[in-house]
Amino acid sequence: MKKNVLIPCLLCLAAALSGCSSDKAGEAPKPAETNEKINLVVYSYSSGIQDSEFQKFFVEPVQKKYPNITMQLVSRNGDKDTPEQIIASGNLPDLILTSNVYIGMFNKLGLGMDLNGLAKKNNLDLGKFDPVGMDAIKQFGDNGEIYALPFSMNYGLMIYNKDIFDKFGVEYPQDGMTWDQAIELAKKLTRKEDGVQYIGIDPDYPENLTRQYSLPYVDEKEEKPLINTAGYKTAFSKLKAMYEIPGFIGEKNKFMYTSNGFFKDRILAMYPVWGDGVVGTIEDMAQQGKPLNWDMVTYPSFEDRPGIGKPVDLHLMMLSPQSKHQEEAFKVMSTLVSDDAQIAMNKTGRMTSLNNDEVKKTYASELKGFQGKNVQAVFKLKQAAIVKPTDYDLPFKQLIREGAKDMAQNNKDVNTVLREVQEKAEKAMTEIKNAK
């Protein structure tokens, strides 16, 4: 999930939005007649929704219940159909599909609306959703506002290649493992055999650990970076322990192996990862007759935070206050968070946003590649508390990545790396503030 730093011109565009609607201030548009044909523009921004999923999980259930409602999907694609371009075009969306880290961005653009009133009017119980997920949404409301409804949740898990474990006679990982336990396993699996260098574990980007530890980039008042701290030292110490395993650093100082190392090269034994990032690949391989001998366990946890996995990562729906069809748009939202719609998504590996054990039990049941796997591992950990995003997250995240790379490739110690990143972050914060 990539974060955007808002640029000043967006705020100017957002300010102009207040005049886009012909309705009187504070009044919601009147609902259309039941048989009136309504087309809703749905804007997807980092929601992970593919066209085929939109048709199956959004269009079909809505048209079955409301045949007069059609939906047009517009997706951000690189530099095409960005929020800036969408606003400038005047073709404002009725609904926005995005993730929780972008709620603040869309609110600043004037495209966020409190849903409490519509939820009460339509008898939608907001208590039906996963409470941790709703807490992440509530962070953006100073007075109890609810700016989005979640339609699915991302989740952390650790996939592993059983063939590599079998090759070296190492016991498979177990649910509930800590990072230290996973690292000890990795030491037994990072070895060269028949000219092939196997890698025991790949932590991927450093923010996977820092976010799991619920570490902010800046203080609450956004006055100074918080990189050179005890929490970051804990997270970077785990990274350092993995980088220092003999054989981990490859040719040309390679220190990240990621999905290619696991699925294509098949040299990576354990891969802690976001579920949404691997479900499609696993299922495609199974459907193509190229299965991998794999399974999954819970994401490794920190020793002082047992049972805590990756942070909240929601895919959600926002309703634009500029929509002329707010009543119909909210009916669409309600349909997509119904038990039937959620079960349909959950069965195909897009995890439900509902706090409902019966719905959760159906997870991945329609996926060929997940048959016989430890699929319930995705529900065994609590999600880490999320830190409210800021405009400094993207540049600071890049600095932290560069620091981890420096530590891996140049064998720098943790204290030196964090001190240098802190200094760079302080300089970057000053430059960002001066540019505003």
Domain locations along the chain: 35-154+313-360, 156-204+256-310+376-383, 213-241+392-436
Q: Identify which of 263, 297, 287 has the alpha carbon closest to the alpha carbon of residue 277.
A: 263
Q: Which of 167-176, 326-335, 373-382 has the lowest mean pLDDT?
A: 373-382
> What digits encode the pLDDT tens for the residues 131-188?
988 999 999 998 999 999 999 999 999 999 999 999 999 999 999 999 999 999 999 9
Residue 2: band (very low, low, confident or very high) from pLDDT cuts 50, 70, 90: very low
Give backbone dihedrals phi and psi of 220, rounded to 5 degrees, phi first: -60, -35
- The chain-wide mean pLDDT, for the chain, equals 90
> What digits encode the pLDDT tens for the residues 76-124?
887 888 888 988 988 899 999 999 989 999 999 999 999 999 999 999 9
Question: Which residue is associated with the tokens 């606003």?
Answer: 87
Distance of CA 380 to the CA centre of its chain: 18
Measured distance CA(97)–CA(280) in Å, rounded:
20
> What digits encode the pLDDT tens for the residues 403-415?
999 999 999 999 9
Q: Work out the average pLDDT over 265-282.
A: 94
Fold of 35-154+313-360: D-Maltodextrin-Binding Protein; domain 2 (3.40.190)
Tokens for 289?
């007759």
Give, as one character, the DSSP assignment of residue 58.
Answer: I
> Can you give the pTM of this predicted structure?
0.83
